[in-house]
Amino acid sequence: MTPYVPGDSPVHRCPPGRKILALVAAGTLLFAWPRLDLALAALAAAALLSRLAGIPVRLMLAQLRPLAWILAVLVLVQLALDGWQAGLLVAARLAALVLLAGLVTLTTRSADLIEALQGGLSWLRPLGVNPAKVGLAIALTLRFIPVLAAIAAEVREAQRARGLERSLVALTVPVVVRMLKMSDDIAAAIDARSYDPDRDSR
Amino acid sequence: MIEIRQVGHAFGERVVLRDLTLDLTERRIAVVGGNGSGKSTFARLLNGLLVPTRGEVRVDGLDTRRDGKAVRRKVGFVFQNPDNQIVLPVVAEDLAFGLKNLGLPKDEIARRTDEALRRYDLHALRDHPAHLLSGGQKQLLAIAGVLAMAPEVIVFDEPTTLLDLRNKRRVAEAIDGLPQRAVVVSHDLAFLEHFDRVLVFEDGRVAIDDRPSVALPAYVAMMS
Ligand SMILES: Nc1ncnc2c1ncn2[C@@H]1O[C@H](COP(=O)(O)OP(=O)(O)OP(=O)(O)O)[C@@H](O)[C@H]1O
Ligand SMILES: [Mg+2]
């Protein structure tokens, strides 16, 4: 998950709900009109906006790293099937969307993002969806991904010391046990801090 | 004041606390005892995280069984593992979590968040991901998050156990400096020497209830 980069640019100050809407609009546009010039314009917009937000180029490029392989394969397949323009279009479109999405998370505090999503989900309330709960679930996921990664690394280390790094059971059982214990603790901690899912604060 | 009346607690068949009757009024109360003697269970009864299977616990007259929510506003809780009690991804957001739950207005939340972060030198880290803090900083953040909610009493369950020496000292100092009353479960006897009262648990009972100068040596003798 990309961390928030504090700042006071117009991109930072733009209300999170509007940023999400703009992102959705850009995505729809790019896929409704598969045109190279639009995709390139979106890429340029992403570059410009990140510049405006003061996000280092290095951080923006880091957004694309997990996608490097997918992009490469897509481009190759399209090249073989449809020629270089189609390949470029697919790659540029995907890269532009990922960069724009990255820009939203880099310039929005997760609490604000969650609050905006909650607002966006409120129309689901009659269907029994509690937006506050969904928001907390998202926040918890963001919070505990790094913790879980650390636990998994620790367990892998411990099992390697015992020569068990190839055993799936030896790796997963301790992780799952610790996760269960952890989820008990977290639930108690949330309770202790007066969380009430039924109170509608927003 | 916390009143504990004929309280017993069992998890299924396993009886963990037996017939406790106590009034907790002192400013600093320590809880010590061997592993599995019931300390954590006792601590969780104090703010209604657990409801006793027998007897009753009252906080300022409120029954933890019926008025759990109101009790938790009066009694804050800090857990052993700092990682498992920080629930939101960014330092300042996590601090504000409890305050939002109290339904406070935005500017009051901002004011209290600021004050609590400054108190523990976490202000420069307010926009940092919480998982990048040191263990000691995480525990201070947890304490700050509870303190900002302005409870009357804070219960600590082994708040320094997972910390290194320097962080143990910082967290102990933070607890010493709290304006609130505190009930502290700990194995760190030196930290408890200047407390007002020590409860020694053994097998679900309070075996010793006295000043630290009497209770701590007796506990050490009991354990050896
Ligand atoms: N949720 C539970 N379900 C079943 N048994 C439990 C539960 N929680 C605690 N126990 C048992 O109750 C007993 C007392 O546990 P408790 O956690 O209160 O002890 P403790 O004094 O805090 O110990 P420690 O010093 O190890 O933290 C232990 O034997 C424990 O196994
Ligand atoms: Mg315990």
Number of H helices and E strands in chain A, helices first, is: 9, 0
Write out the residues surrounding ion ligand 2, Cβ under 5 A: B 40
Residue A90 inside a domain? The answer is yes
- Rounded to a whole number of angstroms, the distance from the CA of A201 to the nearest CA of chain B is 7
- Residues in contact with ligand 1 by the CB-under-6-Å rule are B 11, 14, 16, 33, 35-41
Q: How far apart are CA B148 and CA B115, in angstroms?
A: 8
Q: How far apart are CA B190 and CA B89, in angstroms?
A: 34
Tokens found for residue A196: 């009430």
Nearest to A189 among B84, B90, B149 (CB): B84
Residue of B nearest to A132 (CA): B101
Q: Does residue A104 sit in the same domain as residue A136?
A: no
Residue A82 inside a domain? The answer is yes
- Rounded to a whole number of angstroms, the distance from the CA of A68 to the nearest CA of chain B is 26
Please give the distance, rounded to the nearest whole angstrom, from the Cα atom of residue B189 to the centre of ligand 1: 21
CB contacts of B86 in chain A (<8 Å) are 143
Q: How far apart are CA A113 and CA A17, in angstroms?
A: 8
Mutational pocket test of ligand 1: of B7, B9, B14, the residue with most ligand atoms within 8 Å of the beta carbon? B14
Tokens found for residue B88: 């939101």
pLDDT at residue A2, rounded to an integer: 59
Q: Does residue A17 sit in the same domain as residue A98?
A: yes
Mutational pocket test of ligand 1: of B15, B20, B35, B40, the residue with most ligand atoms within 8 Å of the beta carbon? B40
Tokens found for residue A178: 């610790």
Q: Which of A160-164, A195-199, B37-41 reaches the highest mean pLDDT? A: B37-41
Mean pLDDT value across chain B = 94
Pairing of strands B181-185, B153-157: parallel
Burial pattern A73-90, b for ≥16 Cβ within 10 A else e, equals ebbeebbeeeeeebbbbb
B63-92 tens-digit pLDDT = 999 999 999 999 999 999 988 899 988 899
Please give the distance, rounded to the nearest whole angstrom, from the Cα atom of residue A138 to the centre of ligand 1: 31
Q: How many domains does chain A have?
A: 2
Domain ranges for chain B: 2-223
pLDDT of A58 strictly over 50: yes
Q: Does residue A146 sit in the same domain as residue A74?
A: no
Residue A182 inside a domain? The answer is yes
Q: How confident is the model at residue A180 (pLDDT cuts 50, 70, 90)?
A: confident
DSSP 8-class letter at B170: H
Which CA distances in Å does A18 have to A24, A86, A104, A120, B209? 10, 31, 10, 11, 60
Average pLDDT over residues A31-40: 88
Nearest atom within ligand 1 for CA of residue B38? 18
Non-local (6+) Cβ contacts of A98 within 8 A are A63, A64, A67
Q: Give backbone dihedrals phi and psi of B11, rounded to 5 degrees, phi first.
A: -100, 100
Nearest atom within ligand 1 for CA of residue B44? 18
Q: How confident is the model at residue A199 (pLDDT cuts 50, 70, 90)?
A: low
Q: Does residue A88 sit in the same domain as residue A170?
A: no
Contact yes or no for A192 and B49 at CB 8 A: yes
For the beta carbon of residue B181, count every other beta carbon within 10 angstroms.
20
Residue A101 exposure: Cα atoms within 13 Å on the Cβ side: 13
Q: Does residue A99 sit in the same domain as residue A14?
A: yes
Residue A31 inside a domain? The answer is yes
A108: left (phi over 0), alpha (psi -120 to 50) or beta: beta
Nearest atom within ligand 1 for CA of residue B201? 21
CB B5 within 8 A of CB B61: no
Residue A58 inside a domain? The answer is yes
Burial pattern A105-124, b for ≥16 Cβ within 10 A else e, equals bbbbbbbbbbbbbbeebeee
Q: How far apart are CA A19 and CA A21, in angstroms?
A: 5
Give residue A37's domain range.
10-108
pLDDT of A202 strictly over 50: no
Q: Does residue A85 sit in the same domain as residue A152?
A: no
pLDDT at residue B6, rounded to an integer: 97
Q: Does residue A140 sit in the same domain as residue A94?
A: no
Domain limit, last residue, from A76, A108, A140: A108
Nearest of B53, B57, B59, B62 to residue B75 by alpha carbon? B59
Q: How far apart are CA A62 and CA A47, in angstroms?
A: 13
Residue A4 inside a domain? The answer is no
Between A104-118, B119-133, B203-217, the lowest mean confidence (pLDDT) is in: A104-118
- Interface residue ranges in chain A relative to chain B, Cβ cutoff 8 Å: 1, 3-4, 6, 109-111, 136, 139-140, 142-143, 146-147, 150, 182, 185-186, 188-196, 199, 201
Nearest of B131, B148, B150, B149 to residue B84 by alpha carbon? B131
Residue B79 CB-density burial (10 A; 0-12 exposed, 13-18 middle, 19+ buried) = buried
pLDDT of A111 strictly over 80: no
pLDDT at residue B153, rounded to an integer: 97
pLDDT of A168 strictly over 80: no
CB contacts of B102 in chain A (<8 Å) are 194
CB B6 within 8 A of CB B21: yes
Residue A60 inside a domain? The answer is yes
Q: Looking up tokens 């999405």, which residue turns up?
A: A101
Question: Most distant CA pair in chain A: distance in Å?
Answer: 60
ipTM reported for the complex, 2 dp: 0.84
Question: B2-223 belongs to which homologous superfamily?
Answer: P-loop containing nucleotide triphosphate hydrolases (3.40.50.300)
Q: Give backbone dihedrals phi and psi of B79, rounded to 5 degrees, phi first.
A: -95, 175
Tokens found for residue B157: 């369950």
pLDDT at residue B2, rounded to an integer: 97
pLDDT at residue B148, rounded to an integer: 94
Average pLDDT over residues A8-23: 87
To the question of pTM greater than 0.80 for the whole model, the response is no
Residue A202 inside a domain? The answer is no
B157-199 tens-digit pLDDT = 999 998 899 989 999 999 999 999 999 999 999 999 999 999 9
Q: Does residue A81 sit in the same domain as residue A141?
A: no
Q: How confident is the model at residue A201 (pLDDT cuts 50, 70, 90)?
A: very low
Average pLDDT over residues A144-154: 81
